[in-house]
Structures are given as C-alpha cells and as structure tokens.
Amino acid sequence: MTHAPSRSTIRADAAPGTTARRPAAGGPIERFTLSGATLQAIRERILSGAYAEGDPLRQDAIAAELGVSRIPVREALRQLEVEGLVTFSPHRGAVVSTFSIAEIEELFELRAQIESDLVRRAVPKMAAENFARADEILDAYDAAFRSRDVAAWGELNWQLHSTLLAPAQRPLTLGIAARLHRHAERYARMQLALTHGESRASEEHRAIVTAARRHNADRAAQLMGTHITGAGRSLVRFLREQRSESS
C-alpha cells in the first residue's frame, strides 16, 4: 500500500479532519481518546478513497503514518471490520472491503426500503427543532458543495437523513440504516466528486424536508425512496464505467 505521507500525525486530542473531545476530569483515560481518533482517521481515509478498495492495511505502515503505536491501529481495524469497511483475509491480513455491483445495488435497495419506512413513521412526530436542524444542515451541505469540500458531504448527508429519521424512535432500525449509509458513502463521494451531481441531491433533500414540514408522511416516504434508488442507479452506472475502464 503506497500513499502520500500524512500531513500530520494523530495527537491524543485530535484526528485529521475531526475534533476529538478531551476526556473530562475523572473520565476515560487518554488512550481511549487516541483510539477513537485513530479509528476516525483510518475510517476517513477509506471513505475518501485514500485507501482504495482492495488495498492491504498494514498495521506497521499505518501506525507510522499516523504517529501512533500498533495497538490503536489494530483496535480500529477490528471495529472497521464490524462496520464492513475492512475485511480480514487469512493470507493478506486486513484489506479495504470491496463491494460488487450486485452488492451495491442491494445496498441501495435496502436503504430505500428502510429509510422510506422510517421517515413515514417519523413525520407525525417531528417538531419545530427537527426542521430547524434540517434547515441548518441543508445550508451547510450547500456551502460544502460550493467549496468542493468532499470530506464534509458524506457526514452532512447522514446528519440530514438521521435528523429526518430519528423521530421515528426506532433505534435498532436507525442503526442498520447508518451502517448501510457508511458502506455506500465512499462510492457516493467519488461519484459526486467526479460527476458533479450535488445540485440534484440538494434539490431532492429540500423536497423531502418540505413534504415533512407539510406533515405529508406518504409524500416524504415516496421522495426518500426515489432519492435513494435514483442515487443508487446513477452510482451503479458510474461504477460500471469506471471498472470497465480500469479492467
């Protein structure tokens, strides 16, 4: 695995592109914060494509790159295995997971079904603060697109979706939706960065929020399903072209 040197190493209180909170007095020991920062840093490198699908993830090399010991790296890789972003092979060790086209299609179909159901359940329970938070995220989302801040897109996208889904009060289902989103995020980032599909995404998000604000649960669910399935089809077309060119 060959990558450009990292611009900075991880400190116990910060990770690249993130703000890690310091432990409160009497709280977790500093190593816990370092482990969390290491996890965030490796996850971000996978989601951004810095560690591409199929890349070996050598603990010594990553530890040297991040300026940490192998222990938090090993812990991070095991957590990322649980999230589905890392696969352990008997012969190659840890590698960045690769999804087939069929698996990506299935992933988006599942997201569409789950998130449509959640938003339908959520709309009747939404309050003014939910809509205020959604508007805040939408503005930040548009600002990130204008500045081409690719790293912010996926996080803001999930913040918006989870804001709309959380009022359903179905934490187990929401957890499944979050994991599916994370699987899709690295591919979606790449697609948006190269195809400039951000304008459509922003318009679709605003339409979902408008339907929810009007207390039209069925319309919000329909728009959510159409939004996710449309994004999935567009992404699959994009990935087929990319993979055929590289084969």
Write out the residue limits of the CATH 1.10.10.10 domain(s) in the chain: 1-98
State the pLDDT at residue 184. 85
State the pLDDT at residue 92. 84
Mean pLDDT over 8-34 rounds to: 45
Residue 217 — left, alpha, or beta (φ > 0 → left; ψ -120 to 50 → alpha)?
alpha
Instruction: State the greatest distance between any 2 C-alpha atoms of the chain, in Å, as a whole number.
Output: 55
As a whole number of angstroms, the distance between CA 105 and CA 214 comes to 31
User: Residue 151 contacts by C-beta under 8 Å, 6 or more apart in sequence?
Assistant: 17, 44, 48
Architecture of the domain defined by 101-246: Up-down Bundle (1.20)
Q: Render pLDDT for 219-230 as a digit per residue (tens, 0 to 9).
A: 999 999 999 999
For 12-26, 118-132, 216-230, which range has the lowest pLDDT when averaged over its residues? 12-26
Residue 193, burial from CB neighbour count under 10 angstroms (0-12, 13-18, 19+): middle
State the pLDDT at residue 34. 86
Q: How many residues are listed for the chain in this entry?
A: 247
Cβ contact 18:44 at 8 Å: yes
The pLDDT-based confidence of 195 (bands split at 50, 70, 90) is low
**The pLDDT of residue 114 is above 70:** yes
As a whole number of angstroms, the distance between CA 131 and CA 7 comes to 38
Mean pLDDT over 55-63 rounds to: 95
Q: Specify the higher pLDDT residue, 7 or 170.
A: 170
The pLDDT-based confidence of 193 (bands split at 50, 70, 90) is low
State the pLDDT at residue 8. 45
The pLDDT-based confidence of 145 (bands split at 50, 70, 90) is confident
Whether pTM > 0.75 for this model: the answer is no
As a whole number of angstroms, the distance between CA 86 and CA 98 comes to 9
Amino acid at 94: A
Mean pLDDT over 91-109 rounds to: 91
Q: Specify the higher pLDDT residue, 192 or 144.
A: 144
Cβ contact 198:161 at 8 Å: no
1-98: CATH class:
mainly alpha
Mean pLDDT over 162-173 rounds to: 98
Q: Specify the higher pLDDT residue, 6 or 131.
A: 131
Write out the residue limits of the CATH 1.20.120.530 domain(s) in the chain: 101-246
For 11-15, 78-82, 143-147, which range has the lowest pLDDT when averaged over its residues? 11-15
As a whole number of angstroms, the distance between CA 165 and CA 148 comes to 27
3-state secondary structure the chain: CCCCCCCCCCECCECCCCCCCCCCCCCCCHHHHHHHHHHHHHHHHHHHCCCCCCCECCHHHHHHHHCCCHHHHHHHHHHHHHHCCEEEECCCEEEECCCCHHHHHHHHHHHHHHHHHHHHHHHHHCCHHHHHHHHHHHHHHHHHHHCCCHHHHHHHHHHHHHHHHHHHCCHHHHHHHHHHHHHHHHHHHHHHHHHCCHHHHHHHHHHHHHHHHCCCHHHHHHHHHHHHHHHHHHHHHHHHHHHHHHC
Cβ contact 44:26 at 8 Å: no
Cβ contact 83:133 at 8 Å: no
State the pLDDT at residue 222. 98
